[in-house]
């Protein structure tokens, strides 16, 4: 019943998104997500979780976005508007959730969800000014320079996100129209696009003294969204706007500051067609590259593809983690120097991995080359999927490749966080997952491509003949894929089957960064109707079967999936003398929960080649995944080593679903790199022991003597000690030295979070232990016990003080905890 409904519905849906007539386009036509029925036991439950958990819950969480729009609507109606918080991109998070919800309606129509959507759309319509402008903070005039919006509309395009938000609105509008045929949001989008065209390219008396602004969006997104608007409406204006925004980037406006105002941050350092390296904020970058691919394809201008080929090479050869993560460094949330790919400190924002998938899918359509789908798949199955827990309600914004169970990398939360004020990543997940079916099939003339394996079915027209395709497989959990080909009548066409890079023998993912330690591999096998077919030379990564097809033909492809060891280029410092293990398209990691605690203890001496692994399925409340057990070595507490110990590996995407402990992707091959306890004080610390009255579970007291401080007091990037769990209660910390020391100064780097749970102390003071007795620290006359942000607060003794330990007494502010990032003790010589 449901199946026939879906097929019928898919047939209707097709008519909403005709491929509009254009002189040029991608050579490959993808089969749209809404023409593919996804039955995969890997993907379908994720989509259902998304419909039942993530999206409803995301709608709850983006209610402030609706309230924000409602304020503008009320204002425009002449009503009194209560205070509403100015926020640059709060609307975009809502639009992204709406986009995700729209795709899910393809899975199954849902009147309740549509009613909700229609209500929100009505508010959006009322929040839009008559001329098409849509940005509540300027409509109600709460937007200011202080919150990076500029003092009036379009006065700070580089960071206001006025255009970025609209890009997400266009994408939501197109998706909702495609799945329901309802065009109210599409009309709002078109009205806004036409307004933007006037203001930016023609001149509108109300803005910028009537002169066209001609400045590219500070955060890319409208460009690719305008292309979608063009595809669905057929209106050339939108394609022209997208093209113009690309043409003026790095030409009409180049910021000349630092950090978020640097020329590279939003890729404005050069005209886009002259760019060769991936630089700046990684999400902005991948959205830009996706738009460049679209515009290059639709305008036939080769310079776009040439620039993208250079940039893609730069990314895959020098700046991509093995998980497909992009934007390795904190701070700019973007690309670092070439080969700077840290593991524990990797940033790898989820949104950048989502962007990597969008970018590479387009590169595949452009070049008909499987290697782009290989990158997209690795990014999707590893970095992107890791971003959400199996339950569908907790998220990683940051995706490191090593964790010690304490590291506060995720917006200050250890492990995945529930929804956060900056909700870009969860809402990006919400819109990507339902689009996955759209990556599975593509065609061109007499060529039919199967570009992504997952149990699913579709119907494609090849050379005038309708062909039904049905994939039967457990992929990506195993590599057996059966394909039933049902042409309406006998016909000759070429079936192109993607043979992933990892199945070809030499490396896991395209690019020069990683290769298999042992390149020999079990060959891929292919059969048609039970008869072996010689795979032969691949054509751009595809095995091609060129024959006359008839109803009932069955193709069987087997992609063996042993666990394999990977090494990285020596330029990647973090991975020197280390290997990572992969199985099929999955990067595998070890988690503390399966391996007796600390995963940093394990190592592989003698570099394993193809590791013998035992597979086992592990089922937890909200899903299941396949683990592999291999044999490794480990350091013991006494410094000795143990060989042949079992090491249980979990697919990287599934980590942190059972608890938050240590996790390792890159294992040492040199035993000296294995660490028994990564939380122990380093040998070079002035302290031999640190104890505290209380330490929060997610923090560690040894952090204050580990030699790692940060630039900021927020404490988000390095280990720290906090008294969370005991707000308002006085605390003490004792740091003991190996021998009696003569102290010159003590500096404390306090932690302070604007969210308010950990604040600077109300008061603090020091004591020193002399001959077994605690004595007050005699403070130098002009010193005081200070708590200044982003620095060490240093105090000196009035006279040289020989002691064996220091004790810090801390009185917190009312109802808050206190925290220390680092303590530095300077000694007198001799």
Choice from 311, 425, 611, 751 touching Zn ion (CB under 5 A): 425
Tell me how far, at minimum, the Cβ of 660 lies from Zn ion, in Å.
20
Q: Which is nearer to Zn ion, 157 or 425 (CB)?
A: 425
Nearest approach, Cβ of 351 to Zn ion (angstroms)?
A: 3
- Tokens 């926020």 locate to 87
> Please, what is the minimum distance in Å from the beta carbon of residue 327 to Zn ion?
10
DSSP state of 364: H
Residue with tokens 């499987």: 370
Residue 424 binds Zn ion, judged by CB under 5 A: yes
Which one, of 642, 612, 643, lies nearest residue 628 by Cα? Answer: 612
Gap between the Cα atoms of 715 and 735, Å rounded: 20
β-bridge mates for residue 417, sequence order? 395
CB of 517 to Zn ion, least distance (A): 34
Minimum distance of Zn ion from residue 403's CB (angstroms): 19
Query: Segment 574-593, which members bind Zn ion (CB under 5 A)?
Result: none
Residue with smaller CB distance to Zn ion, 239 or 423:
423
Quick one: 397 or 750, whose CB is closer to Zn ion?
397
Whole-number minimum distance, CB 172 to Zn ion, in Å? 17
Min CB(354)–Zn ion separation in Å: 8
Q: Of 193-201, 421-429, 702-710, 766-774, which part binds Zn ion (CB under 5 A)?
A: 421-429
Q: Are strands 623-635 and 614-620 parallel, antiparallel or unpaired?
A: antiparallel
* Residue 411 vs 762, nearer CB to Zn ion: 411
- Return d(Cα 672, Cα 258) in angstroms, integer: 40
Minimal distance in Å, beta carbon 427 to Zn ion? 8
User: What's the Cα-to-Cα distance from 430 to each of 103, 268, 354, 435, 653, rounded to whole Å?
Assistant: 9, 29, 11, 10, 16
Instruction: Quote the CA–CA distance of 776 and 734 in Å, as a whole number.
Output: 14
Residue (351 or 378) nearer to Zn ion, CB: 351
Smallest separation (angstroms) from Zn ion to the CB of 84: 23
> From the CB of 791, what's the least distance to Zn ion, in Å?
30
Residue linked to tokens 């330690």: 517
The residue (of 349 and 459) whose beta carbon lies closer to Zn ion is: 349
* Residue 348 vs 633, nearer CB to Zn ion: 348
Contact region for Zn ion (CB under 5 A) — 335-343, 423-431, 447-455, 777-785? 423-431
Please identify, using beta-carbon distances, which residue of 96 and 195 lies nearer to Zn ion: 96
Phi-psi region of 706 (alpha: psi -120 to 50; beta: other; left: phi over 0): alpha
How many Å apart are CA 397 and CA 411, to the nearest integer?
8
**Tally: H helices and E strands in the chain:** 19, 34
Quote the least distance from Cβ 707 to Zn ion, whole Å: 31
Residue 417, helix vs strand vs coil? strand
Given the rule CB under 5 A, which of 410-418, 420-428, 464-472, 724-732 is the region that contacts Zn ion?
420-428
DSSP string, 159-213: HH-HHHHHHHHHHHHHHHHHHH---HHHHHHHHHHHHHHIIIII--TTSGGGS--
Residue 818, CA distances (Å) to 696, 713, 762, 830 in order: 10, 12, 9, 34
Among the listed ranges 296-304, 314-322, 342-350, 555-563, the one in contact with Zn ion (CB under 5 A) is 342-350
Sign of CA dihedral 350, 351, 355, 357: positive
What residues contact residue 387 under an 8 Å CB cut-off, 6+ apart? 350, 353, 395, 396, 397, 399, 425, 426, 429
Q: How far is the CB of 356 from Zn ion (least distance, A)?
A: 13
C-alpha 134/C-alpha 170 separation (Å) is 12
Any contact of residue 423 with Zn ion (CB under 5 A)? no
- Give the range of 44-52, 54-62, 346-354, 737-745 binding Zn ion by CB under 5 A: 346-354
Part in contact with Zn ion (CB under 5 A); list of ranges 53-61, 150-158, 353-361, 417-425: 417-425
Stretch that binds Zn ion, among 201-209, 348-356, 700-708, 779-787 (CB under 5 A): 348-356
124 binds Zn ion (CB under 5 A): no
95 vs 604, which CB is nearer to Zn ion?
Answer: 95
Contact assessment for residue 521 and residue 465, using Cβ atoms and an 8 Å cutoff: no
Q: Provide, rounded to whole angstroms, the least separation between the CB of residue 300 and Zn ion.
A: 33
**Quick one: which segment of 351-359, 544-552, 738-746, 817-825 binds Zn ion (CB under 5 A)?**
351-359
Q: Which CB atom, from 47 or from 424, has the smaller least distance to Zn ion?
A: 424
Based on the shown chain and the rule CB under 5 A, indicate whether residue 282 belongs to the binding site for Zn ion.
no
- In terms of CB distance, is 379 or 425 closer to Zn ion? 425
By C-alpha distance, which of 729, 733, 770 is closest to 748?
733
DSSP 682: P
Q: Is 712 exposed, middle or buried (0-12, 13-18, 19+ CB in 10 A)?
A: middle
**Residue 351 in the binding site for Zn ion (CB under 5 A):** yes
Per the structure block, which two tokens stand in for 794?
Answer: 């240093």
Q: With CB under 5 A as the contact rule, which of the stretches 290-298, 343-351, 368-376, 497-505 interacts with Zn ion?
A: 343-351
Q: Whose Cβ is closer to Zn ion: residue 92's or residue 793's? A: 92
Q: Which of 106, 130, 115, 103 is nearest to 188 (CA)?
A: 130
Q: Between 225 and 440, whose beta carbon lies closer to Zn ion?
A: 225
Listed ranges 238-246, 425-433, 593-601, 774-782: which one lies at the site for Zn ion (CB under 5 A): 425-433
Residue whose token pair is 């930016």: 200
- Residue 427 vs 702, nearer CB to Zn ion: 427
* Least Cβ distance, residue 335 to Zn ion (angstroms): 15
Can you read off the two tokens belonging to residue 421? 């004020």
Q: How many CB atoms lie within 10 A of CB 60?
A: 10
The residue (of 104 and 424) whose beta carbon lies closer to Zn ion is 424
* Measured distance CA(652)–CA(401) in Å, rounded: 9
Backbone dihedral angles phi then psi of residue 807, each to the nearest 5 degrees: -130, 130
Farthest CA pair distance, the chain: 97
Query: Min. distance of Cβ 387 from Zn ion in angstroms?
Result: 9
Number of residues that bind Zn ion (CB under 5 A): 4
* Residue ranges in contact with Zn ion by CB under 5 A: 349, 351, 424-425
């Amino acid at each position: 019943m449901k199946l026939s409904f879906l097929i019928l519905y898919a047939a209707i849906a097709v008519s909403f998104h005709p491929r509009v007539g254009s002189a040029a386009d991608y050579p490959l036509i993808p089969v749209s997500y809404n023409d593919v029925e996804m039955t995969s036991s890997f993907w379908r439950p994720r989509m259902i979780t998304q419909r039942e958990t993530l999206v409803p819950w995301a709608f709850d969480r983006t209610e402030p976005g609706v309230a924000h729009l409602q304020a503008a609507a009320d204002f425009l109606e002449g009503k009194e508007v209560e205070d509403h918080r100015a926020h640059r991109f709060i609307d975009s998070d809502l639009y992204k959730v709406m986009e995700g919800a729209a795709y899910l309606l393809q899975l199954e129509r849902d009147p309740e969800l549509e009613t909700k959507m229609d209500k929100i759309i009505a508010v959006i319509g009322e929040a839009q000014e008559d001329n098409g402008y849509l940005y509540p903070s300027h409509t109600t005039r709460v937007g200011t320079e202080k919150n990076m919006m500029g003092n009036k509309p379009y006065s700070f395009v580089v960071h206001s996100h006025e255009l970025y938000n609209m890009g997400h609105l266009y994408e939501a509008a197109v998706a909702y129209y495609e799945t329901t045929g309802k065009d109210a949001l599409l009309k709002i989008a078109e009205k806004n696009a036409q307004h933007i065209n006037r203001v930016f390219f023609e001149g509108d008396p109300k803005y910028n003294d009537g002169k066209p602004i001609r400045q590219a969006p500070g955060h890319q997104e409208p460009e690719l969204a305008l292309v979608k608007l063009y595809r669905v409406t057929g209106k050339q204006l939108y394609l022209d706007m997208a093209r113009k925004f690309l043409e003026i980037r790095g030409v009409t406006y180049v910021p000349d500051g630092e950090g978020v105002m640097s020329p590279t941050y939003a890729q404005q350092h050069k005209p886009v067609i002259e760019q060769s390296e991936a630089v700046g904020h990684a999400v902005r970058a991948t959205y830009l590259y996706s738009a460049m691919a679209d515009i290059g394809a639709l305008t036939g201008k080769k310079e776009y593809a040439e620039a993208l080929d250079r940039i893609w090479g730069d990314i895959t050869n020098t700046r991509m983690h093995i998980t497909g993560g992009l934007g390795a460094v904190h701070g700019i949330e973007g690309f670092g120097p070439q080969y700077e790919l840290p593991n524990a400190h990797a940033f790898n924002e989820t949104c950048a991995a989502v962007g990597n998938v969008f970018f590479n899918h387009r590169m595949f359509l452009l070049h008909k080359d499987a290697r782009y789908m290989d990158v997209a798949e690795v990014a999707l199955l590893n970095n992107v999927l890791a971003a959400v827990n199996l339950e569908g309600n907790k998220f990683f914004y940051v995706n490191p490749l090593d964790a010690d169970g304490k590291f506060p990398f995720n917006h200050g939360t250890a492990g995945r966080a529930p929804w956060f004020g900056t909700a870009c990543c969860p809402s990006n997940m919400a819109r990507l997952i339902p689009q996955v079916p759209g990556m599975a099939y593509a065609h061109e003339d007499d060529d039919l491509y199967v570009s992504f394996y997952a149990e699913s079915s579709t119907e494609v027209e090849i050379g005038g003949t309708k062909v039904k395709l049905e994939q039967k497989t457990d992929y990506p959990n195993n590599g057996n894929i059966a394909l039933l080909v049902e042409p309406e009548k006998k016909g000759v066409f070429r079936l192109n089957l993607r043979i992933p890079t990892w199945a070809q023998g030499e490396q896991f993912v395209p690019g020069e960064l990683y290769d298999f330690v042992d390149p020999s591999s079990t060959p891929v096998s292919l059969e048609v109707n039970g008869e072996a077919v010689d795979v032969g030379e691949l054509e751009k990564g595809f095995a091609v079967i060129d024959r006359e097809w008839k109803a009932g033909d069955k193709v069987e492809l087997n992609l063996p999936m042993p666990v394999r060891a990977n090494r990285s280029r020596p330029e990647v410092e973090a991975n020197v003398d280390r290997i990572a293990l992969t199985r099929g398209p999955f990067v595998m990691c070890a988690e503390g929960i399966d391996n007796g605690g600390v995963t940093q203890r394990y190592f592989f001496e003698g570099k394993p080649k193809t590791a013998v692994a035992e597979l086992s399925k592990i089922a937890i409340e909200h899903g299941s995944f396949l683990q592999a057990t291999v044999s490794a070595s480990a350091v013991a507490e006494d410094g000795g080593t143990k060989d042949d110990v079992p090491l249980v590996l979990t697919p990287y995407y599934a980590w942190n679903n059972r608890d938050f402990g240590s996790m390792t992707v890159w294992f040492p091959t040199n035993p000296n790199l294995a660490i028994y306890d990564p939380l122990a004080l380093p040998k070079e610390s002035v302290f031999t022991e640190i104890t505290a009255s209380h330490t929060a579970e997610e923090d560690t007291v040894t952090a204050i003597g580990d030699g790692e401080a940060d630039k900021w007091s927020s404490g988000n990037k390095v280990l720290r000690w906090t008294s969370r769990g005991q707000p308002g209660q006085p605390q003490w910390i004792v740091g003991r030295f190996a021998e009696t020391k003569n102290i010159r100064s003590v500096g404390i780097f306090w932690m302070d979070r604007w969210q308010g749970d950990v604040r600077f102390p109300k008061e603090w003071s020091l004591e020193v232990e002399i001959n077994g007795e605690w004595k007050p620290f005699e403070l130098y006359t002009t010193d005081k016990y200070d708590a200044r942000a982003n620095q060490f607060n240093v105090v000196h003794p009035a006279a040289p003080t020989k002691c064996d330990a220091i004790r810090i007494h801390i009185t917190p502010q009312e109802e808050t905890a206190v925290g220390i990032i680092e303590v530095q003790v300077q000694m007198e010589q001799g």
